[in-house]
């Protein structure tokens, strides 16, 4: 194998998912960081691109900067694996399982990891009266999440059964299966994972009802606290829970785990992200900076982890 710094890297970005715009920004930032580190980098937008053409480019390794369907759900990972091209991040199973909010929740339950109570709603089986039953089961206030979307796309809060019905109708535009989750009232945190190392915890604060798409990418009022002001014991506890959740879904290499703390001070795992945002102001780079890594050092470490057998 070539020495790491001599490898030719392809950064896959863009794509066709609902998160394309975010991925375009992530890919450009990653390519810039890798180039600054000395790598030979080719930036490839996978929209209208035939992945088999990678085999003709003498690519040594792929850095996946694709968010959402097609890039974060195991599809591109499977194609690269079939072509015997090494890549960063989680493998097919870890990607697919982490991306599926319903399946990952079931894994959390099976592993006795704390996660909010939930119900599963299928578009083909749904009846309007089901919303009332779900409200009775989970409480009046719930979160509605398409099973296979990221960046809070298609998500909404419902305060009663009528709003839940409307939220489900909207969510069905994004997915055939919907996760309805009991509302968690409390602060939200995120833990970046690098290899098997949890990075410093970030506390997100937003005036929105929840950390939605606008709060993540458009709002100027969202605040990020890192250090997060938790006690040393509490921060160690949430880092441990996050790492357990990351490993439970088979995620590898790097990623991010989103967690909330309810009114009883209990941690509640929301989801595992295997290709989180990677602009220079995204959450993983924020945590890495506090950990002592520049953006260029962070992306170099992600490549190095993939070369050490993280796949």
CATH code of 162's domain: 3.30.1490.20
Average pLDDT over residues 264-293: 94
19-33, 198-212, 228-242, 279-293: least confidently modelled range: 198-212
Decide which of 129, 163, 182 is a domain's last residue.
182
Examine the residue annotation and report whether 271 is marked as an active-site residue of this protein.
Answer: yes
The answer as to whether 97 is a domain residue is no
Where does the pLDDT of residue 292 fall: very low under 50, low under 70, confident under 90, or very high at 90 and above? very high
Could you tell me if 176 and 194 lie in one domain? no
Residue at 124 is within a domain: yes
Domain-embedded: residue 105: no
- This prediction's pTM: 0.91
Residue that finishes a domain, picked among 69, 89, 109: 89
Residues 189 and 152 in one domain: no
Q: Which residues pair with 143 in a beta bridge?
A: 157, 181
- In whole angstroms, what is the distance from residue 159 CA to residue 183 CA? 9
Among 71, 89, 94, 277, the one annotated catalytic: 277
Residue 217 annotated to the active site: yes
Q: Is the pLDDT of residue 310 over 50?
A: no
* Alpha-carbon dihedral sign for residues 62, 68, 72, 73: negative
Whether 99 maps to a domain, the answer reads no
- For residue 1, the model assigns a pLDDT of 62
Alpha carbon 5 to chain centroid distance? 27
Which of these is catalytic: 72, 91, 130, 258? Answer: 258
* Tokens, residue 172: 């069905």
Alpha helices (H) in 70-198, listed in sequence order: 75-82, 92-99, 101-110, 130-138, 161-171
Token duo for residue 308: 């050490």
Give pLDDT, residue 6.
Answer: 81
Question: Residue 95 burial (CB < 10 Å; 0-12/13-18/19+)?
Answer: buried
**Please, are residues 205 and 225 in contact by the beta-carbon 8 Å criterion?**
yes
Does the residue 106 lie in any domain? no
Are 256 and 283 part of one and the same domain? yes
205 vs 276, residue with greater confidence:
276
Q: What is the CATH number of the domain that holds 49?
A: 3.40.50.20
Judgement on whether residues 168 and 194 belong to the same structural domain of the protein: no
Q: Are residues 177 and 73 in the same domain?
A: no
C-alpha–C-alpha distance, residues 121 and 160, integer Å: 16
Q: Which residue has the higher pLDDT, 252 or 205?
A: 252
Catalytic residue among 20, 69, 256, 261: 256
> Does 258 participate in catalysis according to the annotation?
yes
Distance CA 301, CA 197 (A): 12
Could you tell me which of 302, 298, 303, 253 has the C-alpha nearest to residue 273?
Answer: 253
Cβ atoms of residues 274 and 72 within 8 Å: yes
Given the residues 126, 174, 217, 224, select the one marked as catalytic. 217
Give the pLDDT confidence of 95-114 residue by residue, as tens digits.
Answer: 999 999 999 999 999 999 99
* Residue 126 Cα distances to 36, 64, 300, 308, angstroms: 52, 36, 47, 46
Specify whether 174 is located in the same domain as 201. no
| Residues of the domain holding 46 | 4-89
Name the domain boundary from 164, 182, 200.
182
Known catalytic residue at 49: no
- The CA distance from 115 to 101, in Å, is 11
Look at residue 253 in the predicted model and tell me its pLDDT: 97
Same domain, 217 and 300: yes
Q: Number of folded domains in the chain? A: 3
- Domain shared by 69 and 162, yes or no: no
208 confidence band (pLDDT: 50, 70, 90): low
Share above pLDDT 70 across residues of the chain, in percent, rounded to a whole number: 93
Q: Are residues 286 and 206 in the same domain?
A: yes
**Of 21-25, 190-194, 210-214, 295-299, the least confident:** 210-214
Asked whether residue 72 is assigned to any structural domain, the reply reads yes
DSSP state for residue 42 in the 8-state scheme? E
Catalytic-residue membership of 277: yes
User: Which of 98, 148, 151, 282 is flagged as catalytic?
Assistant: 151
Whichever domain contains 202, its CATH number is 3.30.470.20
């Amino acid at each position: 194998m070539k020495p790491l710094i001599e490898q030719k890297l392809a950064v896959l970005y863009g794509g066709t998912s609902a998160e394309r715009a975010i991925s375009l920004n992530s890919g450009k930032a990653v390519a810039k960081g890798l180039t600054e580190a000395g790598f030979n980098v080719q930036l490839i937008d996978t929209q209208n691109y035939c992945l088999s053409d990678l085999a003709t480019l003498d690519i040594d390794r792929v850095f996946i900067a694709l968010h959402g369907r097609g890039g974060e759900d195991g599809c591109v990972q499977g194609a690269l694996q079939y072509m015997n091209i090494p890549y960063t991040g989680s493998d097919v199973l870890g990607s697919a399982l982490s991306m599926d909010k319903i399946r990952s929740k079931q894994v959390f339950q099976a592993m006795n990891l704390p996660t909010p109570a939930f119900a599963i709603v299928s578009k083909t089986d749904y009846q309007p009266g089901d919303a009332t039953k779900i409200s009775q089961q989970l409480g009046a206030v719930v979160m509605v999440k398409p099973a296979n979307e990221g960046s809070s796309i298609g998500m909404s809060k419902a305060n009663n059964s009528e709003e839940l019905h409307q939220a489900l109708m909207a969510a069905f535009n994004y997915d055939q299966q919907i996760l309805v989750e009991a509302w968690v009232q409390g602060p939200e945190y995120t833990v970046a994972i690098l290899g098997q190392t949890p990075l410093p915890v970030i506390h997100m604060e937003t005036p929105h009802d929840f950390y939605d798409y606008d709060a993540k990418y458009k709002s100027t009022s969202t605040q990020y606290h890192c250090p997060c002001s938790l006690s040393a014991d509490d921060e160690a506890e949430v880092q441990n829970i996050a790492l357990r959740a990351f490993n439970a879904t088979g995620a590898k290499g790097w990623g991010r785990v989103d967690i909330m703390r309810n009114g009883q001070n209990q941690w509640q795992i929301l989801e595992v992200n295997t290709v989180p945002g990677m602009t220079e102001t995204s959450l993983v780079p924020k945590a890495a900076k506090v950990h002592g890594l520049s953006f260029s050092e962070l992306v170099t470490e992600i490549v190095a982890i993939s070369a050490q057998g993280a796949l």
